Structure 1
Amino acid sequence: MATATGRETGTTGAPEPDNGTGDHVTVGKDKLRSRHITMITLGGIMGSALFIGSGNVIAKAGPAAIIAYLIGGLLVFLAMVLLGEMAARRPAVGSFMEYSRINLGDGAAYTVGWLYWYFWVGVLAYDSVVGGAILTGWFPFLPSWAWGLIMLGLFITINLRSVKTFGEVEFWLATVKVVAVIMFLVVGAMLAFGLWPTDDGGARFGNLWEHGGFMPNGVGAVVSGVAIVIFAYFGTEVAVMAAAESENPAKGIRQATKTVIWRIMLFFVGSVLVIITVVPWDSLQSASDAASGPFTAVINELGVPGAATIMELVVFAAVLSVMNAGLYAASRMLSSMAEQKFAPKATAVRNSRGVPVLAVVLSTVGGVVGLLVNYLFPDAGVFDFIMNSTGLVALFVYAFIALSHWNMRRKMSAAETSALEMKAKLYPLPNLVVLLSVVAVVVVMMVNSGSRVEVWSSVVATAFIAALWPLVKRNKRKIAASVANAAGTHELRHEPGGYAVAERADREPAPEE
Structure 2
Amino acid sequence: MSHKKEEKQETSEHGMVRGLENRHVQLIAIAGTIGTGLFLGAGRSISLTGPSIILVYLITGVFMFFMMRAIGEMLYMDPNQHTFINFITKYLGKGWGFFSGWSYWISLIFLGMAEITAVSTYVQYWFPAWPAWLIQLVFLILLSSVNLIAVKIFGEAEFWFGMIKIITILGLIATGVFMVLTNFETSAGHASLANITDHFEMFPNGWVSFVMTFQMVFFAYQAIEFVGITTSETANPRKVLPKAIQEIPVRIVIFYVGALLAIMAIFPWRQLPIDESPFVMVFKLAGIKWAAAFINFVVLTAAASSLNSTLYSTGRHLYQLAKEAPTPLMTRLELDKLSRTGVPSPAIIISAIVIAISALINVIPGVSDAFSLITASSSGVYIAIYILTMIAHMRYRQSSEFMADGYLMPAYKVLNPLTIAFFIFVFVCLFLQDSTVIGAIGASIWIVLFGIYSQIKFKGK
Same topology, TM > 0.5: yes
User: In proportion to residue count, which structure has more helix?
Assistant: 2
- Greater length-normalized contact order (CA 8 Å, ≥ 6 residues apart): 2
Matched, 1:431 2:416: yes
- The 5 A counterparts of 1:28-427 are 28=17, 31-194=19-182, 202-210=190-198, 213=201, 215-287=203-275, 292-341=276-325, 344-345=330-331, 346-378=334-366, 381-412=369-400, 416-420=402-406, 422-427=407-412
- Aligned in 2, Cα 1:197/1:450: closer, same or farther, shift over 3 Å? closer
CA–CA distance in structure 2, aligned partners of residues 199 and 59 of structure 1? 18
Mean alpha-carbon deviation: is it higher for 445-454 or for 217-226? 445-454
- Residue by residue over 1:178-236, the C-alpha shift from the partner in whole angstroms, topping out at 9 and shown as x without a partner, is 11111111112222343657688854223225577453113322222111111111122
Deviation at 1:301, TM superposition (A): 2.6
Change (3 A) 1:409 1:11: farther
- Residues 243, 417 of structure 1: alpha-carbon distance in 2 compared, 3 angstrom cutoff: closer
Conserved 8 A contact 1:34-1:252: yes
Asked if the contact 2:218–2:426 (Cα under 8 Å) also holds between the matched residues in 1, the reply is: no
Query: Structure 1 residues 286, 196: CA separation in 2 closer, same or farther (over 3 Å shift)?
Result: closer
Report the AA paired with residue 65 of structure 1: I
Letter in 2 for 1:425: P
Q: CA deviation at 1:387?
A: 1.3
Q: Distance in 1 between matches of 2:398 and 2:40?
A: 42
1:121-165 CA-partner distances (Å, limit 9, x unpaired) = 112111111111221221234212211111111111111111111
Gaps of 5+ in 2: 1-5
Per-residue deviation, residues 485-508 of structure 1 (Å, max 9, x unmatched): xxxxxxxxx7xxx5xxxxxxxxxx
Determine if contact 1:327/1:363 at 8 Å carries over to the other structure: yes
Would the alpha carbon gap of residues 362 and 93 (structure 1) be closer, same or farther in structure 2, given more than 3 Å must change? Answer: farther
Q: Residue 3 of structure 2 aligns with which residue?
A: none
Secondary structure at the aligned position of 1:440 is classed as helix
* Identity fraction in percent: 25
The one-letter code of the counterpart of 2:302 is A
Matched, 1:461 2:446: yes
Q: After superposing the two structures, state which structure 1 stretch, 460-469 or 258-267, moved more.
A: 460-469
Q: Is 1:25–2:14 an aligned residue pair?
A: yes
Q: Distance in 1 between matches of 2:102 and 2:267?
A: 41
Bigger drift between 454-463 and 165-174 goes to 454-463
1:73-95 CA-to-partner distances (Å, cap 9, x unmatched) read 01101100111111101124442
SS of aligned partner of 2:341: coil
Question: Does the CA contact (< 8 Å) of 1:85 and 1:424 recur in 2?
Answer: yes
Check conservation: 2:361, 2:368, Cα contact below 8 A: no
- Paired residues of 2:84 and 2:228 also in contact (CA < 8 A): no
Residue 401 and residue 379 in structure 1: after superposition, are their counterparts in 2 closer, same or farther (change >3 A)?
closer
Structure 1 stretch displaced more, 378-387 or 196-205: 196-205
CA distance in 2, matches of 1:470, 1:214: 44
Structure 2 residue matching 1:418: 3-state secondary structure: coil
Map of 1:441 onto structure 2 = 426
C-alpha separation in 1, matches of 2:74 and 2:190:
50
How does the TM-score come out when normalised to structure 1?
0.82
Preserved CA contact (<8 Å) 2:95 2:457:
no
Query: How big is the alpha-carbon RMSD for the aligned residues of Structure 1 and Structure 2?
Result: 2.6
Closer/same/farther in 2, CA of residues 34 and 233 from structure 1, 3 Å limit? same
Contact in 2 for aligned 1:211/1:280 (Cα 8 Å): no
In 2: Cα distance, 1:317 partner to 1:380 partner? 24
Show structure 1 runs of 5+ residues with no match. Answer: 1-8, 18-23, 475-493, 499-513
CA deviation string 1:226-260 (max 9, x = no partner):
11111111122111101101111112211221111
- Over 3 Å counting, the alpha-carbon distance change for 1:470 and 1:441 in structure 2 is closer
Give aligned pairs, total: 453
- Whose Rg is larger? 1
Task: Give CA deviations for 1:96-145 in whole Å, capped at 9, x if unaligned.
Answer: 21011111111111112212111221121111111112212212342122
Contact 1:78 1:434 in 2 (8 A): yes
What is the TM-score normalised by the length of structure 2? 0.91
Confirm or deny: 8 A CA contact 2:191 2:267 kept in the other structure. no
